[in-house]
Amino acid sequence: MDSRKEGEAMYTGGDANMHEVPNNSMALGQESQDDNKNATTEETQTIIEKLVQKVISLENMIESTKNILKYEREKIDRMMQVYAEMMKIEGLTDHQRLHVGSLINKDIITMSYFLSVDDEFKVAYVQQVLAAYISGSSL
């Protein structure tokens, strides 16, 4: 093992014509370690960047899922409102209520329309749907 410090010269040959050879073995070893550290640091940075991208992607997916669940929850609430409104209409059998309610709930626009009109129009709309059902035609 060489006890010289980095940059110290060593002498070779035994004649009067001595040549100095710098001791670069330590410098080369240090450069190799630095290269390994840099490579490891770059690899780690790349992995971290990929993880951050994955986390962002997951956040977007979670937000999207939350929005979908919110929409579905609101849709179910509206469907329940339709059935509650159907229960208020007198003179209908349970079968008629379920049938007309399911027809109204098939389409979000129809559902929104039905829920937005006054009660007397709801009755007229339900009667129209039932008449179309009985005659075999569609609205």
pLDDT at 30: 63
Measured in residues, the chain has a length of: 139
- Residue whose tokens read 């010269």: 9
What's the confidence (pLDDT) of residue 103?
92
CA–chain centroid gap for 124, Å, is 44
Per-residue pLDDT of the chain (139 residues; tens, 9 = 90+): 455 555 555 545 555 555 555 555 555 556 667 777 777 889 999 999 999 999 999 999 999 999 999 999 999 999 999 999 999 999 999 999 999 999 999 989 999 999 999 999 999 999 998 898 888 776 5
Query: pLDDT at position 20, please?
Result: 53
- Point out which residues pair with 9 in neighbouring strands: 22
Distance between start and end Cα atoms, the chain: 97
Cα-only R_g, the chain: 41
Domain boundaries, given as residue ranges, for the chain: 24-135
Q: Write down the number of H helices and E strands in the chain.
A: 4, 2
Closest Cα partner for 115 from 102, 105, 127, 128?
Answer: 105
Q: Which two tokens stand for residue 8?
A: 């110290």
